[in-house]
């Protein structure tokens, strides 16, 4: 279960919209102070929104991050299943051939 978010999604979306809509671009530190959020949190939200919009190539989009997390979970489950099958196989092989050294 993921940890609860410190800032609500509505605040995140509003903060990014405010930053993107303003011309010239405001200083992130000042905008973060006005909104009551940490400047690095706001900077991360802006970068993620830019990645999701295809404006940044150095970060994964939200969809790609979710897919990566799902694939990692699946990989972990498959590794556990393989380990169980490997252990069961060794156990049953020993039961079928009692003369085989362990």
The model scores a pTM over 0.75: no
Q: What are the C-alpha distances in Å from 71 to residues 2, 7, 85?
A: 16, 27, 21
Identify the band that residue 72 occupies on the pLDDT scale cut at 50, 70 and 90.
very high
pLDDT, tens only, 3-38: 778 899 999 999 999 999 988 888 899 999 999 999
Identify the band that residue 101 occupies on the pLDDT scale cut at 50, 70 and 90.
low
Q: String of b and e for 3-32 (b: at least 16 CB within 10 Å)?
A: eeeeeeeebbeebbeebeeeeeeeebeebb
Residue 57 has pLDDT above 60, yes or no: yes
Closest CA to 26 of 14, 35, 36, 18: 18
Mean pLDDT across 40-62: 94
- What residues have CB less than 8 Å from 37, skipping those under 6 apart? 7, 11, 15
Q: What percentage of the chain reaches a pLDDT higher than 70?
A: 95
């Amino acid at each position: 279960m993921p940890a609860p978010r410190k800032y609500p999604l509505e605040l995140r979306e509003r903060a990014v919209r405010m930053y993107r809509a303003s011309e010239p671009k405001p200083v992130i530190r000042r905008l973060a102070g006005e909104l009551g959020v940490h400047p690095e949190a706001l900077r991360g939200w802006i970068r993620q929104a830019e990645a999701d919009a295809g404006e940044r190539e150095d970060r994964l989009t939200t969809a790609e991050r979710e897919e990566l997390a799902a694939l990692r979970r699946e990989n972990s489950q498959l590794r556990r299943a393989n380990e169980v099958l490997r252990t069961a196989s060794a156990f049953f092989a020993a039961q079928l051939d009692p003369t085989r050294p362990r």
